[in-house]
Chain A
Amino acid sequence: MHQTFDAALEINLLHANQEGADHNRAHFDDWGITCFNVMSSPGAGKTALLERTLAALTHDLTIAVIEGDMTTELDADRLRQYGVPVIAINTGRSCHLDSKMVSGGIHRLAHEYNPAEFDLVFVENVGNLVCPAEFEVGEHAKVALLSITEGDDKPLKYPVMFQEADCLLLTKMDLAPHLDIDVEQIVANVRQINTHVPILPVSAKTGAGLEDWFHWVRAQVHLRQSQPSLSGVL
């Protein structure tokens, strides 16, 4: 038997990812860009929401999208129709974007365009309610979507995502009359774990509620541009 020794490390497991996220955020801050990390389960309507958002906001804001998609460029092609730069990151078999992948996207954006011209970058994450919640990518705010077809128990089952969210959109509200879903119960379940997140019911199909979302987006961008030293989540 030989003697055993102990070394205390006390390092966060996601330390390297966190450093990369801080680095990305520093770039965004230098360029005066506000960055949102858009997350949801697959099919909740992230791309549809971004289509609507690009159509409405590109008049007064200069926007780019960093698009995470597991194998295809289908989502990126949909968004390119709105005349904005869309940097597609093929995540392979990874179930989330990490700060290193997004860093690659940022450097491509900076190489192909003048990054200082942009006001806003949307990072559309891989559809997944679990992993993306743990991997910061350098965003200033996390935007989560929950479609009302997913059921009112999802905030309880995937609490980390809903606890981390800085803005929550309840999507596909146009389907409410056809579903046995209690929207007030969804809100109550979210409120158990997140007291302050704005909860915005929207329908990308009919446009209902989208003005509230646009207002939130504009307010975030203006706040950041009027206080450029502001960093991190509001």
Chain B
Amino acid sequence: MHETDMTKALILTVRDWWLSQPERPQISQIHLIVGQFTCVEPASLQFAFEVQTRDTFLAGAKLVIQETPLIAFCHCCQQEYRPEIGIRYACPSCGSPMDDIRSGRELKIDRIEYAAQPAPATVES
């Protein structure tokens, strides 16, 4: 599954940040924002993260995933609405197509929480 590749990308990005920190801090949490209108399954990401971080600088770190809902804006009705994924995307009031997505496409590493204390010596790969 592609969540494996995404997790790899996530770990490499966090590793770059970690290596740029002089004190190599112990990372406790990584906060991700994952939109509901993406091809990413949070449960698969969690599983891949757990497996891939074993015995690395991220061992024990927690992946916190915040899901953002799919929200579209209807220009005819001048209002936001929540499309029903898999069922209906057009505006429920006037039937206009979904052409302005305001939320739900996010796939972002938002922030990292860490302790000032350096991480225990581990394999850096």
Contact = CB atoms under 8 A, between A and B. Distances in A.
A159 B99 contact: no
Contact of A7 (B88, B112, B115): B112
B55 interface: no
A13 B112 CA distance: 14
A131 B4 CA distance: 12
A interface, over-half SS: mixed
B86 A157 contact: yes
Given A160-B38, A192-B88, A9 B110 contact: yes
B60 to A, nearest CB: 14
A160 B110 contact: no
B6 A160 contact: no
Contacts of A156: 86-89
Interface of B: 1-2, 5-6, 9-10, 12-14, 17, 25, 28, 32, 37-40, 85-90, 97-99, 107-117
B89 A13 contact: no
B108 to A, nearest CB: 6
26 contacts: A2-B117, A3-B116, A4-B115, A5-B114, A5-B116, A6-B112, A7-B111, A8-B111, A9-B110, A10-B111, A11-B13, A11-B108, A11-B109, A13-B6, A13-B108, A16-B12, A17-B9, A95-B2, A134-B38, A134-B107, A156-B86, A159-B89, A160-B37, A192-B89, A193-B98, A194-B97
Interface string A131-170: 1011100000000000000000000110110000000000
A7 B17 contact: yes
Contact of A4 (B39, B85, B98, B114): B114
A195 B99 contact: yes
A1 to B, nearest CB: 9
B6 A9 contact: no
Contacts of B10: 13
A10 B109 contact: yes
Given A12-B107, A15-B13, A2 B115 contact: yes
Nearest to B72: A193
Interface centre among A10, A17, A159 (most CB of B within 10 A): A159
A134 B45 CA distance: 15
Contact of B2 (A4, A96, A159): A96
A209 B89 CA distance: 29
Nearest to B2: A131
A60 B72 CA distance: 43
Contacts of B108: 10-13
Nearest to B41: A130
B117 to A, nearest CB: 5
B52 to A, nearest CB: 14
A191 B9 CA distance: 33
A184 B90 CA distance: 16
A71 B28 CA distance: 39
A14 B6 contact: yes
Contacts of B9: 13-17
Given A3-B116, A15-B9, A192-B97, A9 B39 contact: no
